[in-house]
Amino acid sequence: MNHSTRPNNEFLMFVRALRDELMSMSDEDVLASSDLEQLRARRARMLQDAKKEAGRRRLAAAKARLQSSKAGTAAVERIDPTEARQYIARAANDERYTLVARQLGEGLSDEEAVRLYRQMRSLEQGQSEDES
């Protein structure tokens, strides 16, 4: 959950920098620079703006995570177990697979056949990317 803590870290860094700035100023500099109430009001506005910005960033990060999870969910396709078994049977004659892998398709349940099909397709896609 690093995404949700990052804006808080930025906010804390801002507050620490503000504190350090005020601590480094002499009392005369603080009082001479402006009216004390104006200074307090300006610092309060800056703090509120920083809080709002941190909230906006957290919301944007949450929306981005939600969109990416929706996109990942939508990409899952329904595989027909019969098609998966046919693919596995064709792969049994493929020399890229070991003898043990070629014999995996025998006696599989529908779920196991679909899972094996997805694994084989994933391996093929990874191999084709490596060849590119």
Residues 67 and 85 in one domain: no
What is the pTM (predicted TM-score) of this model? 0.38
For residues 49 and 97, state if they share a domain: no
Q: What percent of the chain shows pLDDT beyond 90?
A: 5
**Number of structural domains in the chain:** 2
Asked whether residue 64 falls in the same domain as residue 86, the answer is: no
**Nearest alpha carbon to residue 117 among 84, 94, 89, 91:** 84
Q: Which of 18-22, 47-51, 101-105 has the lowest mean pLDDT?
A: 101-105
pLDDT, residue 98, reads 67
Q: Are 6 and 70 contained in the same domain?
A: yes
By CB atoms closer than 10 A (0-12, 13-18, 19+), residue 39 is: middle
Mean pLDDT over 29-35 rounds to 69
Domain boundary among 51, 74, 97: 74
Asked if the model's pLDDT at residue 129 lies above 70, the reply is no
Name the band, by pLDDT with cuts 50, 70 and 90, for residue 102.
Answer: low
- Clarify whether residues 10 and 53 are in a common domain: yes
Task: Verify that 56 and 39 share a domain, yes or no.
Answer: yes
pLDDT tens for 60-75 read 988 988 888 777 655 5
Confidence of residue 45 (pLDDT cuts 50, 70, 90): very high
Q: Which two tokens stand for residue 107?
A: 């006696």
Query: What is the spatial distance between Cα 91 and Cα 101, in angstroms, rounded to a whole number?
Result: 9
Q: How many CB atoms lie within 10 A of CB 84?
A: 23
Burial 52-61 (b: 16+ CB within 10 A, else e): eebeebbeee
Other C-beta atoms lying within 10 Å of the C-beta of residue 48: 10
Cβ 91 vs Cβ 102: under 8 Å? yes
What does the DSSP 8-state code read for residue 107? T
pLDDT of residue 34: 64
pLDDT(132) > 70: no
**Same-domain pairing of 6 and 35:** yes
Q: Which domain holds residue 36?
A: 2-74
